[in-house]
Every structure is written in C-alpha cells, then in structure tokens.
Structure 1
Amino acid sequence: MQRTETLPASYLASFNEQPGYLNFASFGPPSQPVLATAAALMADAAEGAVGVSDRLHGEDARARASFARLTGFGLENISLLPATSYGLFQLAFGLKGKVLVSAGEFPANTYPWLRAQQAGLNEMAVMGGSLTLVTPELVAKELTADVTAVAVSAVDFQTGYRADLAGIREVIGADRLLLVDGIQGFGVIDQDWSVADAVVTGSQKWVRGGWGSGAMAFSAAGLERIAPTLGGWTGVEHPSQYDGVVHASRSDAGKFGISNLSPFAAGSFATALELIEEAGIGAIAARVAATTAVLTEKLENAGVDVLSPREDEQRAGIVVAGFPEGNAAQAHQALALAGISATLHGPHRIRFSAHATTDAESLSHVALILASFA
C-alpha cells in the first residue's frame, strides 16, 4: 500500500523546472535554495577576504553531516567526492578478490572494476545480460566461494528496477562486501542504506544539487577492508605539514580524499540534502511512487508497452516505455517537439523519470503523444 505522507508546500515551491521535464535520471534541475547557495559562496570567493578559503571549505562539513543523517552511517564513515565515478574507482582499486558485477550496469559501475582487473588488483566476474535484473536469486546463482564482493546499482538505469539490497545482503552473508551505486535512487527512495558496506552517489540527479559533488558512506567492514589506493594528499594525517615526509593515511573515510573539493559544489550538495531532510524522504518517495504509478497506468491505457516494474517495492522514479516496432526515435522527437524531456535508449525504449515536483498534466500529455506510436 502506498503511503500518503504530505510534502511541505515550501519544498514544492523551491523548484521551478518547466512542465514536461521527465528526465531526472539524467539530470535533476536544482532548487532555488541551491542556486542561492552557489551564488552566495561565489560572491564570498570573489571578495577574497581574509579567511575566505576556510569559510568556503566549511561547506564540506555541512554536506557530510547531512549525508550521514540521510544514510544512517556515522560521520567518520562519510567522504565527499566530485562525482559518483570517482567513488566507484576508489572502491574498485581499494578492494582485493573477486567482484560480481552485472552486465547491465551503467558503464560508470563497470569500467572501474575492469580497470582494476587490468591493473592486477582484483578479478571482475560478470553476471546476467544487458537487461537482466539483479535479484537475490541471480546473485545466489552466480555466487562462488571466491567472491569477496558484489557491486550493484540501487536502481537500474535501463529498467527502473529497484534492487532488493536487504535480500542480496542475506544471500551473500556478512563476510562479503555489498557495494552500492546509489545515484539512481538516493534522494527519492526510502531505503535502509545500512545493509551496504559502501554507498556511492552524486549530487546532480535525484538529489538536485547540480554537478561536481557527491559522497560515499562506509560500514565498519567496508572502511576496514577497502584500502585508500587512490587516496591523495588530503587523505593523510596532517596534510598541511609540508615536510617532505610521506604521512600515514587517515583512519576514517577521509582517507579516500584526493584533493580539496569545490566549495561551491559541496555547498550546493549540502543545501540539496538539507532540503530532502526538511521535506522527509518518506514523503518524497511516496509522491514519486504515486506519480510513476499514474504514468504507468496512462501509458498502458494508451496502448504503450511498459517495460519497468509495477510493484511498489521494485520501482523508484523510472518508467520505461517500449516500442517493439523500433520507432522510439520518432516518438522521442515528437515528445521533444511538445516540450517533453526524456531519454532515448536505442530504437525500442524511452526512459521517463519523474520527481516529486512532476506535474500531472505532463503525464497525460506523454500518453496522448505516444498513443499514436503504439
């Protein structure tokens, strides 16, 4: 049963994307508070007053604190990064053993494991096919005694399938690491992230904080077993003691730091995270679930094939329309001409991704346009 939690009017009023925007799985238009934060930080930087650098980089702490609260991990287990891919490379190059990765993963969660394997650091084992859902049953089938970790997306970018992270954790047990690319779900699904040993996400999609920031959260086991192979000068003890001596890595998640991050991006990320906290992830998730259910129903009533899951527990904000005649490009062009933003995935699929602010009229408009292509 879908929840009926109410979103604060102040949250909904914080955004002003154009009607017809259904492309949050690619990029989420930031809120007005995020824009204001970025402008204020840039204005501070432009003045160049004494101590401005320290004040600007204080935004890192604000982002880390909010991310810790939203994920349920301790503050010492949180590290910021400039993008999801940076975090995935940190995981891949810091882990030993054999890692199970789906063949259908977004390339950002494939190339780090491939490059680490090519560097002789670990072994990448591929499971399933390009559109195979990563279920606990699939993982159990592919699991071998030498597998040390499983890497999976919380929400699949092609199908919208929401992985059963708790089920996968139960299958792999406590001794193997569960590594989660959370970017297609974090901020819009009410998820217990603590079942994972590492969660990596970025700011630019569902969080709606713009490009240039993201974060990683680690369990105690993840923090202990994933080495800071790619850690840089900001990831060591006493980084500002320029004494020509190699310093020991930090003991907390800060050991994965490479360099100073953009305070403008970190501040924007922090503001976006705090807006999610204020609204309540449960309320956001409930609104997104209700909206995607309506879109699914309207598409089916229009005769359009829906290729994404129907069950609440298996979906997030993504709805995929199928075009068995191979005319998805023509349909996508018609949508664009009508002011509808979506993602074309080859000749047979269009991906729609709705947020809590998606307007109902746009859903009807999509169905009306696609009816002629069904």
Structure 2
Amino acid sequence: MRDALLDAIRLSATGAPGVVDELHDRETRAADVAAKLTGFDRAGVTLVPSTSAGLFHVAFGLNGPGRVLVPRHDFPANVYPWLRAQERGGLTVDFLDTPDGHASPERVAAELRPDTVAVTVSAVDYRTGCRADLPALREVIGDRLLVVDAIQGFGVSDQPWHLADVVVAGGQKWLRSGWGAALFAASPRALDRLTGGLTGWSGVEDRAVFDATEHPVLADAGRITMTMLNPLAITGLLTSLTELERAGQRAVAEAVTGGADLLVERLLSCGAELLTPAEPGRRAGIVSVRLDEPRWSVVTERLRELGVVATARPGYLRFSVHADTTVDAVELAASAL
C-alpha cells in the first residue's frame, strides 16, 4: 500500500504528459474490481469520497413523499444524511430503536409503514459488532430500497452485498487504503429511483464540454459524483480492492472469524462481558466488551503499556481483528483484562 501511494506521488510530481489521465484511469479500474467484489452490475458502481458522501447522495436523491427507516443508534454517518434531507423536504425519517446494534428483520418489519420506501442499516454495527442479516432484511422489506453502510464489514465479512440496493464503504477501515475514496454500488432499482440529487459537473454527460449549459445527468452510477476524486486516494483504494480480490473475500473472512473466535474465547475466560454476539455468524471483525470504572481506566492504561491498539469509549472497549492479526496479539490484548 505504501509503495503504491509513494509511486503515485512520484508519478504525479513529474507533471509529464498523460499523467493526469493515467492517474484518473485508476478510478475506472477500482470500480471494475468493486463491481466484481460486490456482485453489482458495473453500470451501478462508482467511487465517492467517503461513506458519508455516498449516503448523502442517496438521501438527497430520493425525493418524497415517503418514509425512510433509520436505526436511531447507528453511527451518525448513517443518520445525519437522512435528517438533513428531511429538513429540506425529502423523505420523512422514522427511527428504529437498536440499542444493542441489531437492526433485526423482526424489528424492521414491525416499524415498516405502507409509505416506507427505504430502509438503511449498517452491515456491522460500529459499537457492538453485530452483523446485519441482509438476506432476511431483503425478504422483509420487499420492493423497498435496502441501503447498507458497509464500512465496518466490507473487506472482512463475506456477505451477499448484491441483495442490497445501495452499498457504500469507505476505504479507511477494514480495506486499510486510507481516507478520500469509497466504493458505491447501486442496483438498477436504486438507479431508477435516484434523481440527480447532489450531482455535480463530473456526473453529467459530456462533462469535458464547457458550453455554459446544463448537461443531462448520467444514466449510470457515475451521476453519484460531485467532482473528480483525489487520484492518490483512488490509488490506495484500487490497491486494497485488488489485494482483496486476489486473496478472496471468503478466505479473508474465515481468517478474521478465526481470530475473532479466539479473542472472544480469551475475553470470556477473563470474565469480560461481551457487547458483541458470541455466535460467529452474527459478527465480523469487531469484538467489544463492556467495562465500567474503575476497571475501564485500568485496562485502557494497561493496553497502552502493552502497545495494543483498541478503541476506548466510555463504558466499553472495541477490538478489531483483521486477517493478519496474530495469535500473540490476541493473547496480549486479552491479558490486559
């Protein structure tokens, strides 16, 4: 990854003829790989600057009337786009209470209304690590749009992404490609229902023709853009997606599950209270434990001393197990508890 980014910086610094085109061509290549990994038609795949940017495009592209069901306790990136669109006359927001991070099919079904047109969930809950059941959600919501914030699962969780209508995942989490680029995949059904919304000059026909007229928006997912992306961020995402394709999503997911299983086992043996479901099929790479004071402060300090990186939030700790997390690292993390 570092070598690929450094090479891109060196290339851009030359200013040689064709360099800009060569760097921006990587956007097309990254979208090609993203289409293969998600199972979406290539016409439905593009790149956006971030997960938030992609979700804002969807929220502002779905005009009312109608309602969208949003998990109240989800990460704010999957809440604010819908609230902002509602403020400007878009879809009406209905909140789904998910204090345990589980947008279960039963909970979703109970909150659906006749005029609900979209349901949005996270593939994996950022706090508890609880994994969404995409097949069951697809069955429950029927023809409504299923929008998935996949950033906490894509790259380490082998899920049937193609069952969703929109999948957005930034590269800075499990893909480890850095900030500034995210994959965006949309089904034909979603593209049919999304208007121009926040489309900018890069998402229209004949974007290189500057004739002082408004051009029609693109028919494919390319219209989910505002402007050209950072080619360095694109390089990072392309590198990560290519490596994921080479390694295989299933193989990576199995390695992550094995590491997470071991960490869960060790944490339970230490008397930890899991926030994450213990069953492997209901989680991905996030393993969280509840810790109250004074133990929270003691454990977080011990983790720093050991050189173990964990996310410490008031009342809980979140560990992230990747495919290359070693057994020794897992044992070291558990020893702090």
Same fold (TM over 0.5): yes
RMSD: 1.1
> In the alignment, which residue of structure 2 is the partner of 1:257?
225
Instruction: Map Cα deviations across residues 77-118 of structure 1 (whole Å, 9 max, x no partner).
Output: 111011111001001111132100011110000100010011
- Counterpart AA for 2:327: A
SS in 2 for 1:152: strand
> In the alignment, which residue of structure 2 is the partner of 1:226?
194
1:327 CA displacement: 3.3
> In the alignment, which residue of structure 2 is the partner of 1:159?
128
Alignment counterpart, residue 155 of structure 2, candidates 173, 187, 199? 187
- Counterpart AA for 1:89: F
1:313 aligns with 2:281: yes
1: CA distance between counterparts of 2:159 and 2:101? 22
Matches within 5 A, 1:212-361: 212-325=180-293, 327-346=295-314, 348-361=315-328
1: CA distance between counterparts of 2:198 and 2:294? 43
1: CA distance between counterparts of 2:281 and 2:112? 24
> In the alignment, which residue of structure 1 is the partner of 2:84?
115
1:241 CA displacement: 0.7
CA contact (8 A) 1:101 1:150 kept: yes
1: CA distance between counterparts of 2:294 and 2:204? 53
1:61 aligns with 2:5: no
Matches within 5 A, 1:32-51: 34-51=1-18
1: CA distance between counterparts of 2:220 and 2:57? 14
Matches within 5 A, 1:29-178: 34-96=1-63, 97-173=66-142, 175-178=143-146
Q: Which has the higher contact order (CA 8 A, sep 6+)?
A: 1
2: CA distance between counterparts of 1:313 and 1:164? 9
CA contact (8 A) 1:329 1:344 kept: no
Cα distance change on mapping 1:112 and 1:329 into 2, 3 Å: farther
CA contact (8 A) 1:62 1:267 kept: no
CA contact (8 A) 1:81 1:215 kept: yes
- Counterpart AA for 2:75: F
CA contact (8 A) 2:201 2:226 kept: yes
1:36 CA displacement: 1.4
SS in 1 for 2:261: helix
SS in 2 for 1:209: coil
CA contact (8 A) 2:101 2:125 kept: no
- Counterpart AA for 1:165: L
Stretch moving more, 328-337 or 213-222:
328-337
1:35 CA displacement: 1.3
Number of residue-to-residue matches in the alignment:
335
* TM-score (norm. length: structure 1): 0.88
* TM-score (norm. length: structure 2): 0.97
1: CA distance between counterparts of 2:197 and 2:224? 8
Cα distance change on mapping 1:211 and 1:61 into 2, 3 Å: same
SS in 1 for 2:117: strand
SS in 1 for 2:288: strand
Instruction: Map Cα deviations across residues 174-219 of structure 1 (whole Å, 9 max, x no partner).
Output: x200000000000111111111000001111101111111111011
Structure 2: runs of 5 or more not aligned: none
Cα distance change on mapping 1:99 and 1:326 into 2, 3 Å: farther
1:228 CA displacement: 2.2
CA contact (8 A) 2:69 2:93 kept: yes
2: CA distance between counterparts of 1:327 and 1:177? 43
Cα distance change on mapping 1:326 and 1:162 into 2, 3 Å: farther
SS in 2 for 1:297: helix
2: CA distance between counterparts of 1:300 and 1:247? 59
1:313 CA displacement: 1.5
- Counterpart AA for 2:5: A
2: CA distance between counterparts of 1:102 and 1:326? 31
SS in 2 for 1:190: coil
2: CA distance between counterparts of 1:99 and 1:326? 41
SS in 2 for 1:148: strand
